[in-house]
């Protein structure tokens, strides 16, 4: 009766493929547009801080998604939200690539980000619901797909710049990818994971008939925090726990780390490592390549190790990569640093969001909405902060922002783990205490 539950198994079906396509479309845009901000600044004759305002306006779109996604899911279902997201993303990209200046590119960035954030806001809970105990692995693979598709973005950007076409053609490819994604989603039924469900239908495990949703609660929750304990941590029903908000802070930190580096790594390569503009923009693919490898690897490792163990290891790798990048004075060594940093960065976000959703006491769409607000705040502040500092003290010194954010992330996740353990009920048997199956 107390046998250990069967290990989680990730089954990739057409629902999974359609949801992964959402990550891929958004990944292409992010990694073809954001590394091109220094090029956009040169084209428009503006400062780095002004170019960084595009990420601030993108953050406004992310915040819009955060305020509206839960209500939209209740009204339209996740399938309807995904189709709406594809339309917004396409319209925003068309406006962005045809715009003559900041007065159009800035609001267009807001529309694009609203669509992209709605993509992720609906796809992440859908994957969690659809895959149950294997949810963290599915979410990680989804982000891995985004990194894999996005890997080509900086290369396409660098190639377009080298050919004299500028940054716009590479970004315009997003419209095609959004249309393909919309077709895949439109062929799926708007029920189950793509409806408004908050928990997967209970299915017995091979071991003892324990509902899959119960296994999912343990495996997706922050180590030491069961889903019920997460809700009990505040002592007030309907409110998120202390552990949840600490994990929210961790998520904000990791998003800030990734976005600040993606936006200004090319500038660091140009000014400190002596790379040409096209080479510097293309070299950001090294960061994305590392992220891609990490996210697919974490998809497997998340079935065997706790999210906390993996996240702390990711922070350590990220520090090592940042250090190599920061001291590099040649393009090849900076590229090595970007790849190593990407190995750390790639694992951080899917692990942080899985832990956050696991501490949500089953309120996945509400938790996702709050996480989207945090993502928006990080996207708004981190690239502009680093860009503004770079204007004042140079990109090299400004990149000290990255290890500071890593330190904040480490402290927040350790405090979350401690808060979760403080409110954890005594396990009934060793399997309950083990976290991931």
Q: pLDDT for 345-403, tens place per residue?
A: 988 988 898 888 888 877 777 887 788 788 778 877 887 788 778 888 888 888 898 99
Lowest mean pLDDT among 213-227, 229-243, 354-368: 213-227
pLDDT at 238: 59
Q: What count of other Cβ atoms lies within 10 Å of the Cβ of residue 426?
A: 6
Question: CATH 1.20.1250.20: does it fit domain 14-433?
Answer: yes
**Is residue 380 within 8 Å of residue 260, measured between CB atoms?**
no
Q: pLDDT for 140-155, tens place per residue?
A: 788 778 878 887 888 8
Q: Is the pLDDT of residue 434 over 60?
A: no
Burial of 375-409, coded b for 16+ CB within 10 Å and e otherwise, reads bbbbbbbbbbbbbbbbeeeebeebbebbeebbebb
CA angle 68–73–74, rounded 5-degree value: 100
Please give the Cα distance from 240 to 231 (Å, whole number): 6
Distances (CA, A) of 17 to 200, 245, 256: 18, 31, 28
- Residue 204: beta bridge partners? 211
Quick one: DSSP state of residue 34? G
pTM over 0.75: no
Q: Which of 34-48, 123-137, 408-422: highest mean pLDDT?
A: 408-422
Q: Is the pLDDT of residue 285 over 90?
A: no
**Is residue 52 within 8 Å of residue 383, measured between CB atoms?**
yes
pLDDT at 211: 32
Classify 275 as helix, strand or coil.
coil
| Section 198-222 average pLDDT | 36
């Amino acid at each position: 009766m107390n046998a250990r539950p069967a290990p989680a198994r990730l089954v990739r079906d057409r629902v999974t493929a359609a949801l992964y396509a959402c990550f891929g479309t958004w990944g292409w845009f992010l990694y073809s547009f954001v590394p091109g901000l220094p090029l956009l600044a040169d084209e428009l004759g503006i400062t780095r801080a002004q170019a960084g305002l595009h990420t601030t306006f993108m953050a406004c779109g992310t915040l819009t998604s955060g305020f509206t996604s839960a209500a939209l899911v209740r009204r339209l279902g996740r399938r309807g939200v995904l189709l709406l997201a594809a339309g917004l993303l396409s319209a925003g990209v068309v406006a962005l690539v045809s715009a003559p200046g900041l007065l159009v590119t800035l609001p267009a960035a807001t529309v694009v980000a609203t669509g992209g954030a709605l993509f992720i806001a609906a796809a992440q809970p859908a994957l969690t619901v659809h895959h149950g105990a294997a949810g963290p692995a599915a979410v990680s693979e989804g982000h891995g797909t985004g990194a894999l598709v996005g890997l080509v973005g900086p290369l396409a950007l660098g190639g377009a710049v080298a050919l004299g076409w500028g940054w716009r053609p590479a970004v315009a490819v997003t419209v095609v990818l959004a249309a393909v994604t919309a077709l895949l989603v439109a062929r799926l039924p708007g029920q189950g994971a793509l409806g408004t469900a908050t928990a997967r239908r209970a299915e017995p495990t091979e071991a003892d008939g324990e509902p899959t949703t119960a296994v999912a609660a343990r495996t997706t929750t922050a180590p030491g925090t069961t889903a019920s304990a997460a809700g009990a941590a505040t002592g007030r029903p309907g409110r998120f726990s202390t552990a949840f908000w600490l994990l929210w802070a961790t998520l904000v930190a990791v998003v800030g780390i990734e976005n600040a580096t993606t936006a200004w790594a090319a500038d660091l390569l140009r000014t400190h490592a002596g790379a040409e503009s096209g080479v510097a923009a293309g070299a950001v693919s090294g960061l994305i390549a590392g992220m891609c490898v990490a996210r697919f690897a974490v998809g497997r490792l998340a079935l065997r190790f706790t999210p906390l163990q993996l996240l702390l290891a990711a922070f350590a790798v990220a520090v090592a990569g940042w250090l190599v990048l920061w001291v590099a004075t040649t393009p090849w060594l900076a590229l090595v640093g970007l790849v190593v940093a990407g190995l750390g960065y790639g694992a951080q976000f899917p692990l942080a969001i899985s832990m956050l959703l696991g501490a949500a006491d089953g309120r996945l769409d509400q938790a996702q909405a709050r996480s989207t607000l945090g993502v928006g705040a990080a996207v708004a502040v981190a690239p502009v902060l680093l860009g503004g500092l770079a204007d004042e003290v140079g990109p090299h010194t400004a990149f000290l922002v990255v290890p500071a954010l890593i330190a904040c992330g480490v402290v927040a996740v350790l405090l979350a783990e401690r808060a979760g353990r403080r409110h954890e009920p005594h396990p009934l048997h060793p399997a309950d205490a083990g976290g991931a199956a």
